[in-house]
Structure 1
Amino acid sequence: MDWMNQTDDRILELLDESGLDLSPSVIAHNLDYSRSWISRRIDKLEDSGLVEADGTYYHISEKGRDYLAGDLTAEEI
């Protein structure tokens, strides 16, 4: 999928490895990106179903875990 980039993979990996609900600010801090960049990327990930929101916090979805595990390709998203 041409809209996905390295930041998206790093966001998904952080959410998966932490097992936590994280805000865009916390994600940005841990990945050393700006909060605005993370917010734009996480909106796209949410629209595609790879992450889910709980208020202002985000966690990886089952679809996101499937993508990381290689059970779902970017083209299938």
Structure 2
Amino acid sequence: MTGSAEDSDEMHRRVDWLKPSDRVILAEIGKYGGWMKPATLALNIGYTRGHIARRCQTLAEKGFLEKHEETAAYQLTKLGKDFLNDELEPEDLTTDSQ
């Protein structure tokens, strides 16, 4: 189920809950490879800590991120890696399937 680069750029337009910032957030967490807090992400990318915190919470609910048990920190899941590698189709991300 590999999508094209164009599909990955347009994915947020085809999936109602997905935002353009989600790929940036996931990529930054994936680049680091460990637990990251929204405040740290905000230092590295062009979104506010509040926006990142809300998106991380949604991405965790959808299975793209795992939330740390003791603090507001997140790490990438296999689903998140699959998304970054363009191995998912919009149909894989619909509200009904997640």
Q: Report the CA distance between 1:58 and its aligned residue.
A: 0.4
Letter aligned with residue 80 of structure 2:
G
Aligned residues: 77
Identity, in percent, stands at: 30
The 5-angstrom pairing of residues 1-77 of structure 1 reads 1-54=15-68, 55-77=71-93
Q: Which structure 1 segments of 5+ residues have no match?
A: none
Q: Report the CA distance between 1:5 and its aligned residue.
A: 1.6
Secondary structure (helix, strand or coil) at the match of 1:59 reads strand
Q: Tell me the TM-score normalised to structure 2 length.
A: 0.72
Over the residues paired in the alignment, what is the CA RMSD in angstroms?
A: 1.2
Q: Which structure 2 segments of 5+ residues have no match?
A: 1-14, 94-98
Q: Which deviations, in whole Å up to 9, do the C-alpha atoms of 1:32-73 show, x marking residues without a partner?
A: 211111111111101100000113210110010011111122
Does structure 2 conserve the Cα–Cα contact (< 8 Å) formed by 1:67 and 1:74? no
Q: Which runs of 4+ in 1 moved over 6 A?
A: none
